[in-house]
Structure 1
Amino acid sequence: MSRHIVITGLSVLAPGSTDTEGFWKMITAGRSAIRRTTAFDPTAFRSQAAGEIDLDPLACGFGHREIRRLDRAGLLAVTCARRAAAEAGIAAGTELDPTRLGVSVGNAVGSATSIENEYVVLSDEGREWLVDQSYQSPHLFDYFVPGSLARETAWAVGAEGPVSVVSAGCTSGIDALGHACQLIQEGRAEVMVAGATDAPVTPIAVACFDAIKATTRRNDDPEHATRPFDRTRDGFAIAEGAAMLVLEDSEHARRRGAEIYGTITGYAAQSNAYHMTGLARDGNEMTRAIGLALDEARADPTSVDYVNAHGSGTKQNDLHETEAFKKALGDHAYDIPVSSIKSMIGHSLGAIGAIEVATCALAIRDSVVPPTANLHEPDPECDLDYVPLEARERALDRVLTVGSGFGGFQSAMVLEKWRGGRG
């Protein structure tokens, strides 16, 4: 990347917390927030564990009309965007040119919660094949248009520059941030509010993952159900979440004296053209993405200090990733810590990649590697250092985060410690 793109603000909403520092304290303590699903009665479902956020929209500053209008994913996105913008000092009323401020939002399943709720009402709880449109919400159209999530985020921060949605399954969060970096690189924007949101804890979404057996069946012990890289792993817990980061050109950040978390120096995305949900054991497509991201960062594989893994806890993903790390990083793969925060907050689909990028920025800030919770019996075929159970203090100059999504999407991003002082 020819321009230095720095992170000047971030906000995370994830299961177990309602703010960024609460999230960070929880995952560095190795605590799991997975519980029995409460959003609906999960008794009829194969997987009954989920990662849910106990968010009070009124306490977050939303009015009753906004709460009625916005989907759950929209509420999460707007909350994070407002907080990240305020932390970065680009809230409404600042001298920032709004036409040079853009938004990039990643999302996998749109306004899933509201769409399902509307169907339940319009079909009289599924009893009517022909739905009665006289009962529909006036906001139904917005729920069907993923762009509404980016629009609401843009309105929340006063962005009048480029605004977009990136939907690439479970890599959407990383890809939305990568797209934002590219817009800054091209000079289309000076500042981007970028990240992702998803709220898929709904009966239809849970049923879909039940059908392909991707989610955990450990319903009697949800807190310990998700166990990436463990011999006894049996899938992930579906979750909701969001993260938004403020990205800007370092010179722009310097001129306004912004505090800086770190810098994004490399990004790449690849595809396997292989299978809708399957992954080849060889990990070649993730290997390529990692290699290209490191090349863009002009970084040698031996300079990576920590890898934030996709670590979904499915049998095939963990083997695929392990092989990719070995191929991309060589012998160095055995010498660096690797961990998965999905063991504690579940898998929030399109949102998780942005949450994991934010995690990397926090890890660099505090020189701490978060652990992989519930890793008691390491899979012999997953033979890297997956940081079981407890966080580690470690100076981090360069970190790698990766994502893997249904449809064959594979993405990687490199973050580095900022050594240029205050922006």
Structure 2
Amino acid sequence: MSGRRVVLTGIGVVAPGGVGTKAFWEEMTDGRTATRTISLFDAGGFRSRMAAEVDFDQAAEGLSPQERRRMDRAAQFAVVSARMALADSGLAAGEVDPTRVGVSIGSAVGCTMSLEQEYVVLSDAGRHWLVDPAYAIPHLYEHMVPSTIAVEVAWACGAEAPVSLISTGCTSGLDSVGHAYRLIQEGAADVVITGAADAPISPITVACFDAIKATSANNEDPEHASRPFDRDRDGFVLGEGAAVFVAEELEHARRRGAHVYAEIAGFASRSNAYHMTGLKPDGREMAEAIRVALEEARLDPRDIDYVNAHGSGTKQNDRHETAAFKRALGLHAYEVPVSSIKSMVGHSLGAIGSIELAACALAIEHDVVPPTANLHTPDPECDLDYVPVTARDHRTDAVLSVGSGFGGFQTAVVLVGPERRPA
């Protein structure tokens, strides 16, 4: 591996409760929740009828009529976030050789909303098994291929280096950034537009999670339904959104005087090879990913100032994760603040890892740890400092962010402040 270092110089966020980095960070520091009764479709017949939706005005966010018609909602989130990140980074069009600019975007479920809407039309709401393709929109094939989300970002950014769509379930948003990190380290690109987007709030997705009872059924109080690490939690709350970064080789960023939010110092992923949805209680695979990421970052567990947890709000995840932190961080696990922003923005599947990394980079920027909202009655088995309800001023130079996904995926990313690591 080369000695090329990778930094984040631009951030763009489209999240429930906050479109744009400023609005998103205000939501995080205020501890506001964006979960509510589903409005994107009639969810009356479902077990779980709430989600964290994005208030998204396509025209106001600069999408042309053609883009609005061509792109699925997830792709729209990704493109708008990418444009925000580029503007934030200060990279001007033509400033970088396009063959040195890549794209790495994560998504768990691709263009789910458009695919389902088209199936409803083609099948006459499910009445016909054989469908007439004459009724299909001309962009249906693009919706079938998730990589078109990354392609749309590449077109929007003029990127001609490697372009990839990373789909590893709920760790996609971390793994896509990890892939970008490796591309720059190995010299395949100097700049990579990276992050993740998902827009899964549709009947088929809600029905799938209803079937396995993974989502909360607290429909009478959706604002407080997402309760990671709380004794009374009953599942996660579905979300949607995107976060995209400009990841850049450090010297490249320095030469143009770019503002650096954070450096990607370590990345590792593991699998538990155990069960499609189940987790071993000892957290061994997540702990191993944490150990390798810290080793790559050349950090001791005691150097970590904040842990951004996966914190989905299911009992098996929260207990598995607590065990992993204790296993990987030792006694420091009891001292370091840990929180889950899913309590505020829900679980947007493949997108959430990148949204959480945006919160981590901003935590480093502002020395503030976002809270775990709705945590009022801690689970005795989750006995760490989970920053209940209120954000905390806290010196934050090194952050660990972790993700856990169906299929056994376990990922850890370490971000450090721009002055943390010596040359």
TM-score of the pair, normalised by structure 1: 0.98
What's the CA shift string for 1:316-375, capped at 9, x where partnerless?
Answer: 000000000000000000001000000000000000000111110000000000000000
Contact kept? 1:30, 1:390, Cα under 8 Å: yes
1:86 aligned residue: 87
Contact kept? 1:82, 1:91, Cα under 8 Å: no
- In structure 1, the residue corresponding to 2:169 is in which secondary structure? coil
2:54 aligned residue: 53
How far apart are 1:244 and its partner, in Å?
0.2
Contact kept? 1:91, 1:157, Cα under 8 Å: no
2:39 aligned residue: 38
- In structure 2, the residue corresponding to 1:6 is in which secondary structure? strand
- In structure 1, the residue corresponding to 2:116 is in which secondary structure? helix
Residue type at the aligned position of 2:57: D
Contact kept? 2:20, 2:84, Cα under 8 Å: no
How far apart are 1:420 and its partner, in Å?
8.0
Equivalent-residue separation in structure 2 for 1:141 and 1:131 (angstroms): 15
2:368 aligned residue: 368
2:95 aligned residue: 95
- In structure 1, the residue corresponding to 2:103 is in which secondary structure? strand
Residue type at the aligned position of 1:75: Q
Residue type at the aligned position of 1:124: D
Residue type at the aligned position of 2:27: M
What's the CA shift string for 1:369-400, capped at 9, x where partnerless?
Answer: 00000000000000000000000001111110
Residue type at the aligned position of 1:74: A
TM-score of the pair, normalised by structure 2: 0.98
1:406 has 2:410 as partner: no
Question: Which aligned pairs between 1:188-199 and structure 2 lie closer than 5 A?
Answer: 188-199=188-199
Question: Which aligned pairs between 1:21-420 and structure 2 lie closer than 5 A?
Answer: 21-92=22-93, 94-419=94-419
Contact kept? 1:341, 1:370, Cα under 8 Å: yes
Contact kept? 2:78, 2:242, Cα under 8 Å: yes
Contact kept? 1:226, 1:313, Cα under 8 Å: yes
Equivalent-residue separation in structure 2 for 1:292 and 1:334 (angstroms): 20
Contact kept? 1:35, 1:51, Cα under 8 Å: yes
Equivalent-residue separation in structure 2 for 1:259 and 1:395 (angstroms): 19
1:20 has 2:4 as partner: no
Unaligned runs of 5+ in 2: none
- In structure 1, the residue corresponding to 2:228 is in which secondary structure? coil
Residue type at the aligned position of 1:285: E
Equivalent-residue separation in structure 1 for 2:61 and 2:283 (angstroms): 42
Equivalent-residue separation in structure 1 for 2:177 and 2:95 (angstroms): 24
1:6 has 2:7 as partner: yes
Equivalent-residue separation in structure 1 for 2:62 and 2:307 (angstroms): 36
How far apart are 1:91 and its partner, in Å?
4.0
Q: Percent identity over the alignment?
A: 62
CA RMSD of aligned residues (A): 1.2
How far apart are 1:65 and its partner, in Å?
1.4
How far apart are 1:2 and its partner, in Å?
2.3
- In structure 1, the residue corresponding to 2:381 is in which secondary structure? coil
How far apart are 1:143 and its partner, in Å?
0.3
Residue type at the aligned position of 1:106: G
- In structure 1, the residue corresponding to 2:253 is in which secondary structure? helix
Equivalent-residue separation in structure 2 for 1:275 and 1:127 (angstroms): 35
Residue type at the aligned position of 2:252: H
Q: Which moved more, 1:12-21 or 1:395-404?
A: 12-21
Equivalent-residue separation in structure 2 for 1:317 and 1:420 (angstroms): 31
Residue type at the aligned position of 1:184: I
- In structure 1, the residue corresponding to 2:400 is in which secondary structure? strand
Contact kept? 2:12, 2:82, Cα under 8 Å: yes
Aligned length: 421
Contact kept? 2:13, 2:84, Cα under 8 Å: no
Residue type at the aligned position of 1:62: L
Contact kept? 1:334, 1:385, Cα under 8 Å: yes
Equivalent-residue separation in structure 2 for 1:95 and 1:410 (angstroms): 37
What's the CA shift string for 1:64-108, capped at 9, x where partnerless?
Answer: 11101100000000000011011112242x421111000000000
Equivalent-residue separation in structure 1 for 2:329 and 2:290 (angstroms): 9
- In structure 2, the residue corresponding to 1:170 is in which secondary structure? helix
Equivalent-residue separation in structure 2 for 1:7 and 1:246 (angstroms): 6
Residue type at the aligned position of 1:269: S
What's the CA shift string for 1:244-283, capped at 9, x where partnerless?
Answer: 0001111000111111101010000000000000001010
How far apart are 1:305 and its partner, in Å?
0.4
